[in-house]
Structure 1
Amino acid sequence: MHVFPGLALARSAQGYSRLGPDFLTELSPEPVPGPHWVAHSEPCADLLGLAADWRSPEALALLSGNGGGGGAGNGIGWASVYSGHQFGVWAGQLGDGRALHIGEIENKGQRFELQLKGAGRTPYSRMGDGRAVLRSSIREFLCSEAMAALGIPTTRALCITGSSLRVRREDVETGAIVTRVAPSFLRFGHFEHFAHHGLLPQLQQLFEHVLDQHAPECRDAAVPAAALLERISRQTASLMADWQAVGFMHGVMNTDNMSMLGLTLDYGPFGFMDGFDPGHVCNHSDHQGRYAYARQPNVAFWNLHALAQALMPLVPGDPETASEPLLAALESYREAFPAEMLGRLRAKLGLVSSLPQDRELADDWLKLMAAHHTDYTIAWRRLGSFDSSAGASNEAMRDLFVDREAFDAWAQRYRARLQAEASSDVERRKRMTAVNPAVVLRNHLAEGAIRLAREGDFTEIERLLKVLLRPFDEPVLASDAGFPPDWAAQLEVSCSS
């Protein structure tokens, strides 16, 4: 066990590391020169129950890879093996290529794994260097905490540590390490790995671990594997509705980037929508547009099918009929996602009742925004101030659309819908303000923090984090919630991000 002021890490007897060498490789992180603190998240520290003085020199060494890892007392952490489909193609063996688990913390009955991203090569790094750069680390740190503040299931980020290590990507950049936090980093790809290679005892062992630690209610089901698949299908449906509702694009929805707990996992070339375009592709490396915004829900369903295939050996009985309960479990996604999405849209429209015409009203609003490339976040936020009284001009809304008459026609329907439930504008605005954020982590906001950080100034990371932790409040700086500057259109993020 590592015990520093306010920071104690151990390996749990129930944790993933107990599964043994078929599932992971034990190794130490590679040290870095000149480690220093870059940023930290107090909400994440509170989640872990850390003391106020947890950022000690010893903790800095540990979280920079310079003080050993893991809770076994031997200075060793571990990296797990998995496989997966990348851009729809089987990629074979993958694994934690630049992530190293260093132990667990238990707080108030919850257990959290800590993982260093960028701590050096592992046996699964393939041709990579196992490192992360300051640019990508800032983006992941800020977005992890921003998503949590939005109420979207996600892995968390405790801190960033920097160093003088030079790392080559498109250019030579400064290395950094993010300390990631989650109840588990298990992926669809973990199951795919053992199923694909015919390692059925290990597949069963992994399955038992997931049931024991994360889904005990599935054990007593008629077909536990199908019950687990239905559970993750419903969690994934809810997560996709959350993403779509705030205009979030993951960018790399490979099966090895899909969480078995329904968390947003692996922040790389993500993006939040500026001008609304359902076909927008945030990942510059995604040349075919597989992971475009509008395709995310269907990609998630495709990935769930891949998981179902991996779970088939766990279904008892005739192999010829093993797929039947799993296919039935997958139907829960087809049922859940449309309902979850409509629920999010009703809330964003400020509606408290359900009427048959709501789906068409919401769809036509999205089509109107898409036709005019209207700023997604600003349009939803301004809609909260819609005046439903007869003859109200709603100029602030009309100004967002080139074809004002088209907005007026939709607004007339919206007004009638609000009147149908005797909606109070004052109360509706409160509801809509609570679900339509004023601020999301747009690329240009992250870029501003990155540019200063490259000069050694980390104050913008701290300032921006405070804003992102209160996304539904109007920020002090209006520009944080304003339209993106013209230069933002030139920003590109790719798989190296």
Structure 2
Amino acid sequence: MSSSPSVPTSFATPIPSPLPHPRYPSRFTSSLPCDEISSLGHEDGADAVPVPDSLLSTPRMVRNAVYSYVNPEDQSEGAFLLSWNKEFAKDLGINDSKLEKKNWTAEEYQNLVKVLSGGGRKIPKAEYEKQQQEGNKGPRLAQPWAHCYGGHQFGYYAGQLGDGRAISLYETVNPETGEPWELQLKGAGKTPYSRFADGYAVLRSSIREYLCAEAVAALNVGSSRSLAILSTETMVVREDGGEPGAIVCRVAPSWIRFGSFEIFFYRKDRKNLRRLAEYVCDEVFHLPKDDPQETAHFTEQFRKFHLNKAAEAAASTPMETQTASEDASESTTTATAAVEGAVEGAPVAEPQHKPKYRNRFAKMFEQITHRTAIMVSGWQAIGFCHGVMNTDNMSVLGLTIDYGPYAFLDTYDPTWVCNHSDTEGRYSFQQQPGICLWNLGRLALTLENYIGAQERVDDREWLQQQESDPEKEKHLKEAASDIVIEILNKSFRDVFLKDYRERMNAKMGLGAADQVRDQDLTTIVVPALKWMDDHEIDFHAFFRALAEYKVQTTESVDQNMDQVEALVKRLLSPTIWQAGGQSAVEEAKDWIMPYHTRIVQSDELKDDQARRARMNKVNPAFVLRNWVAQRVIERVTESVMKTREQSKEEDPDKDLLDRVLWMCQHPFGEEQQSSTKVEQVTVDGVTCEVKRNDAGLEAYGEFVGPVPEWGQGIQCSCSS
């Protein structure tokens, strides 16, 4: 039986089918430094002695490490699968014949539940040995680990944080696409980073994350993904008493965060900060090493620049020389202030023109900045509030991760705060782009020496000399500031605005990216949002209703007032319509007039039917609002209790999670056209029509429509 020299077979967990084959050993753990305590016993051979689980999971300060080996707590007794994401399973590279649960053997089901609930080492030896015969892929072995990272929480650096209840099970690679994935169990028990917590997750928060990761991804915004959710017998104690426990298997290409860099920066651990940065450049973004010929060419350019400056200085008068020196000092101060302004959301001054070399670390920061801009642009366009945008919750890949007290907007309110723990409104909906800039500024601080070193970043001896001298290190930071400012301007501000314009134009039926006009944002989109805010308009209903607006053969809004009134009446609540409907109609003209004019100027846009179809492909009919999530949680929890009590009562919600998962993954409503069956369902005294698609899954039904009074403005806390 072969094994990696870094992980003895006696210490590893077998990964059974139908789960995808693990990459063995893990690229992450074999490339980066491990926690010294958890690495004990990881030498291979007969003498290897595994560290006891009780020691591995003991909360402690971990230094000089990017991760710690730790085994999930065995919660497999009485655990069962609540939902399996067969659509995403295909992306992982799982064999087509094993995508659906109905195609698993009883043994495969039992072994999968064991692995995903921490009991993988209970898999019988015969089964484990059978898994080793898969051609030349290597053994189906994994050694789980937890990430070590720090982070700023609500604006203040909090020191060591880390995966307190999430444990990475293993890495895999889709054999067809070559895309890497890291499977992680959330709620899998204590780790060295649990501090005073228990490492568990409650069912309600697990359902929220399981569903929302797929909902956000389906709305074309970067997100972690969900593979499975399991119910466990663990009773988890939270503020309101005991709650049923659960484990989510969530997946991402990488779980590295801004805080992964911060912990080494604030500990002044330059060695491991460099190792992590190199790993992200090489393995996450696949950036090439800096070309020596290219750096030599830049050095020559830079030398000529300084020679010219020296010649100019020699030709100047003493007074002029003094003034130039003062100007240079002032420009440096201005550049530094501009960086602070950038992360605070203030206008950014363009850096002075002088030779700058972007090495691979600057390119890495540029990629992270670009991806973050696209992510938060998506959030603003789909009306998504993250709730806890701490730097430890920011992915270097620009993915939405760590779904806690999130919310999709109900009525449009830019000041909405979905996290009731956020008493100052730091992470309100309108603050999200600015907070991303602030967080990028914190990340830039950790990388500024490498960025500032420019073409000499691989001259380790020279760089060490600069870092050991405070005055020389100051020059590194000054050199970095110009590059960082330029990246924040071009790769965040410009990218954000471009992407946001394109998304909002598509939502409003104003055409594809090549049809965007600069004035659309200021004359149509922003006034429309203000009108929505003034009249408490449902954000998502607005765009679906706007798709029904017909310009027909009219040339002006005055000729189309019946359509305008119908649109406004549909969007306003009956009470508001009676109290001030006509006033709302008049105020709507501020954005409807330029909107109408913009549409009728284009033969493509004024085709009402085609425009409606395009809009309904980007504006969801189903939205995982907080009231929907709350209703699903209540019903699934009741269903879980029936299962555990072995109730004989019929359980209509046994497959509810699968049905709602399908809605999250297909939110736009086009599937309703192929529905084959219509049922009348009564919920809380209200009868609604439920359509079922060809697969027999509920197509939206009761979860689409006006927000019930009890469900308006639901906030959540960080507790889960």
* TM-score bracket for the superposition, by shorter chain length: over 0.9
The aligned counterpart of 1:358 is 520
Contact 2:212 2:624 (8 Å CA) reproduced: yes
> Following the alignment from structure 1 to structure 2, what is the Cα–Cα distance between the partners of residues 165 and 323?
50
* Structure 2 unaligned spans of 5+: 1-12, 35-64, 123-137, 291-356, 457-471, 573-580, 641-652, 673-690, 692-699
Query: Does 2:683 correspond to 1:460?
Result: no
Q: Deviations over 1:329-379 (max 9, x none)?
A: 222212211121111111111112233421121100110101111000010
**CA offset at residue 34 of structure 1?**
1.2
Structure number with higher relative contact order (C-alpha < 8 Å, ≥ 6 residues apart): 1
> Following the alignment from structure 1 to structure 2, what is the Cα–Cα distance between the partners of residues 313 and 197?
15
> Following the alignment from structure 2 to structure 1, what is the Cα–Cα distance between the partners of residues 530 and 207?
34
The aligned counterpart of 2:426 is 290
> Following the alignment from structure 1 to structure 2, what is the Cα–Cα distance between the partners of residues 292 and 81?
28
> Following the alignment from structure 2 to structure 1, what is the Cα–Cα distance between the partners of residues 20 and 617?
36
Q: Deviations over 1:441-463 (max 9, x none)?
A: 10111111111111124422121
- Equivalent position amino acid for 2:16 in 1: F
* Structure 1 unaligned spans of 5+: none
**CA offset at residue 17 of structure 1?**
1.3
Query: Does 2:267 correspond to 1:97?
Result: no
Moved more, 429-438 or 242-251: 429-438
What does residue range 126-275 of structure 1 map to in structure 2 within 5 Å?
126-171=195-240, 172-217=242-287, 219-220=289-290, 222-275=358-411
Q: Deviations over 1:15-52 (max 9, x none)?
A: 21121311111111111241111111111111112232
What does residue range 444-483 of structure 1 map to in structure 2 within 5 Å?
444-455=627-638, 456=640, 457-473=653-669, 476=691, 477-483=700-706
The aligned counterpart of 2:72 is 29
Once the two structures are aligned, what percentage of the paired residues are identical? 40
Contact 1:68 1:77 (8 Å CA) reproduced: no
Q: Residue 254 and residue 170 in structure 1: after superposition, are their counterparts in 2 closer, same or farther (change >3 A)?
A: same
Q: Residue 490 and residue 355 in structure 1: after superposition, are their counterparts in 2 closer, same or farther (change >3 A)?
A: closer
More helix by share: 2
> Following the alignment from structure 1 to structure 2, what is the Cα–Cα distance between the partners of residues 114 and 438?
31
Moved more, 476-485 or 254-263: 476-485
Contact 2:264 2:272 (8 Å CA) reproduced: yes
Structure 2 residue corresponding to 1:106, chosen from 162, 170, 173: 173
Q: Residue 219 and residue 379 in structure 1: after superposition, are their counterparts in 2 closer, same or farther (change >3 A)?
A: farther
Q: What secondary structure, in the 3-state scheme, does the structure 1 residue paired with 2:619 have?
A: coil
> Following the alignment from structure 1 to structure 2, what is the Cα–Cα distance between the partners of residues 462 and 132?
20
> Following the alignment from structure 2 to structure 1, what is the Cα–Cα distance between the partners of residues 415 and 21?
44
> Following the alignment from structure 2 to structure 1, what is the Cα–Cα distance between the partners of residues 143 and 566?
58
Structure 1 residue corresponding to 2:551, chosen from 374, 380, 388: 388
- Equivalent position amino acid for 1:202 in 2: N
Structure 2 residue corresponding to 1:4, chosen from 16, 20, 25: 16
Structure 2 residue corresponding to 1:398, chosen from 561, 568, 581: 568
Q: Residue 469 and residue 329 in structure 1: after superposition, are their counterparts in 2 closer, same or farther (change >3 A)?
A: same
> Following the alignment from structure 2 to structure 1, what is the Cα–Cα distance between the partners of residues 289 and 413?
43
**CA offset at residue 412 of structure 1?**
2.4
Contact 2:525 2:591 (8 Å CA) reproduced: no
Q: Residue 13 and residue 311 in structure 1: after superposition, are their counterparts in 2 closer, same or farther (change >3 A)?
A: farther
TM-score (norm 1): 0.95
Contact 2:502 2:516 (8 Å CA) reproduced: no
The aligned counterpart of 2:86 is 42
Q: Residue 376 and residue 490 in structure 1: after superposition, are their counterparts in 2 closer, same or farther (change >3 A)?
A: closer
Structure 1 residue corresponding to 2:27, chosen from 15, 28, 32: 15
TM-score (norm 2): 0.66
Contact 1:4 1:56 (8 Å CA) reproduced: no
Query: Does 2:588 correspond to 1:407?
Result: yes
Paired residues in the alignment total: 496
Contact 2:15 2:115 (8 Å CA) reproduced: no
The aligned counterpart of 2:599 is 418
RMSD: 2.0
The aligned counterpart of 2:114 is 61
Q: What secondary structure, in the 3-state scheme, does the structure 2 residue paired with 1:291 have?
A: coil
